[in-house]
Structure 1
Amino acid sequence: MTLDFNFLIDTFFVALSGVPVALLITVVALLIASPIGFLLALTRINRIPILNQFSRVYVSFIRGTPVIVQIFIIYNSLPLILSALFEKFSIQMSVYDINPIWYAFIVFSLNTVAVLIEVFRSAISTVNKGQLEAALSIGLTNLQAFRRIIIPQTLVVALPNICTTTVNLIKATSLGYAMSLHEITLKAQVAANVGYNYVEAYIDIFLVYLIICSAVEHLFKWYEKRLTKYKIASA
């Protein structure tokens, strides 16, 4: 079997056109999941009743089930729930007209929250509690203490794991094809359907994700160097 290099080159740019969708899902999921994950991590550390148990069960459930299963559950069940609500409140809108990217935002945000809870929980635990007490003793509020002292040091420790989470999230967006989402994988597969050039299509998908993930890793390494001053301060 020989590779069709013309198709390989053409489809690479087709797959590349799906990058904005993959990155949009990644950014939105991180923006939604980061504050929620941080707050739920605090409930784990401080052992707040009910919320602590909820966080533990939530993390176990989400991390214990495949992302593709979560996609099928939400993508198939949420329209039924919305349809019932629309009918009950006489909302003249078809649930099937909703862009599937909204379902992707929900699925990947929920999944990322579970990961970041554990990332932040382990990172916050490394910060000496005496620093918070010292900040409060000089008149800072809890919010000021966290914003100026705790969070910067937490980011230094958590950044490598946040980088891994981001890279895994970008790769997980390839499952968006199950929601008919026009991201990298689906676009390459559709292009391959005409001449059955699936090997070339998957090579293109591999290369596109490799480029994106490598770029994200380098970006995080650059940002980690910028946070070195906090690492020195917390040493």
Structure 2
Amino acid sequence: MNLAFLIQTFWLAFKAIPMTLLITSISLLIGLPFGLLLAWIKIRKIRILYPLAAIYTSLMRATPMVLFILLFYSTLPSLLNVIFNQKLHLGLKIFEINPVVYAIIVFTLIAVANLSEVFRSAILTIDPGQKEAGLMVGLTVIQIYYRIIIPQALVSAIPNIGNLTLNILKGTSLAFMMTVQEVTAVAKTAASHTYNYTEAYIDIFIIYFILGALLQIIFKYLEKHLSRHKVSSTIA
């Protein structure tokens, strides 16, 4: 065990944490509204859109993350190059796009599919009588969802959103396959020069363990805080 290398590489990988958090946070922030929209489409069973939403959700949830990343990163740039440069002759530098952009797109697509199921199940737990009460006082369907149903659904969905956030965070370790310089990529690159892969993997484990533990604490606090608010609102 090369202790000096382990410590040195730990701090190198530690500096890459902002990239890991950037991919995770942006993917989830973009995915939240689209996931909610997809959930609404599936609940309302909107014609044409419903089967497309169901197929998309099933496909994304059934495909292994590593396989989706490999397929996406190996085909999308080439496809965009054919469309914009060979067909439309726009002369765009497709292959010079920062791989972080592709990583964010990949994890956003994954987040949207999973969030749609999280929101769908949370919304279905809301008492239908609240919608009827909203209609009786003159609220539109959109107002009912915006003011009554969605806020309550978000409270119910917090535990599952926390689990998804943790899964996305861990999934970003696969972004090294897209040459993104996140925690795993930095540690493995450092190990490739000295072949101290065991130490590098220990560093990766420690960093993801710390990040995962902090995320669980944050979402536990949110769940507890919002649950109190929900109870107090109900009593009032």
**TM-score, L = length of structure 1:** 0.93
Q: Which residue does the alignment assign to 1:79?
A: 77
Q: How does 1:1-235 map to 2 (within 5 A)?
A: 3-87=1-85, 88-228=87-227, 229-233=229-233
Amino acid of the structure 2 residue aligned with 1:56: A
Shift of 1:175: 0.4
Percent identical among aligned pairs is 45
**C-alpha contact (below 8 Å) 1:156/1:231 kept by paired residues:** no
Shift of 1:91: 2.2
The unaligned stretches of length 5 or more in structure 2 are none
Amino acid of the structure 1 residue aligned with 2:102: Y
Does 84-93 or 196-205 show the bigger shift? 84-93
The CA distance in 2 between the partners of 1:46 and 1:144, in whole Å, is 15
Root-mean-square deviation over aligned CA pairs: 1.5
The CA distance in 2 between the partners of 1:114 and 1:126, in whole Å, is 19
Cα distance change on mapping 1:84 and 1:44 into 2, 3 Å: same
The CA distance in 1 between the partners of 2:52 and 2:200, in whole Å, is 42
Shift of 1:5: 1.1
Residue by residue over 1:74-105, the C-alpha shift from the partner in whole angstroms, topping out at 9 and shown as x without a partner, is 11111112112232333233212100011111
The CA distance in 2 between the partners of 1:31 and 1:156, in whole Å, is 17
The CA distance in 1 between the partners of 2:15 and 2:27, in whole Å, is 20
Does 153-162 or 221-230 show the bigger shift? 221-230
> Could you say what secondary structure the match of 2:24 adopts?
helix
**C-alpha contact (below 8 Å) 1:153/1:231 kept by paired residues:** no
The CA distance in 1 between the partners of 2:188 and 2:231, in whole Å, is 45
Shift of 1:106: 1.2
**TM-score, L = length of structure 2:** 0.93
